[in-house]
Structure 1
């Protein structure tokens, strides 16, 4: 399953890759926030940085 998902990344556009990455970041951040009680600012900063580097 994981191998198929990784292989599929090669066929994704930059936008799709960023979307997938954001999903992973959001998932990880939400679980981290549950432990630490932090806000979503870090998640937003990462997304902003990714998008700024694409332009």
Structure 2
């Protein structure tokens, strides 16, 4: 009887670890997608800053 309980306990632990692995994988995918857009965001911010400074100094 104890062996059956141990097997069930191990299977539950395996299921928990598989769910955690799936969650971490999804979070990694999300971070990778966001990382691809960071250069675009930085370029847009720099362009906006340069245009704002140019407007202030050159009165556009």
Q: Same fold (TM over 0.5)?
A: no
TM-score (norm 2): 0.39
Kindly indicate which of the two structures has a greater share of residues assigned to helix. Answer: 2
TM-score (norm 1): 0.42
Question: Whose Rg is larger?
Answer: 2
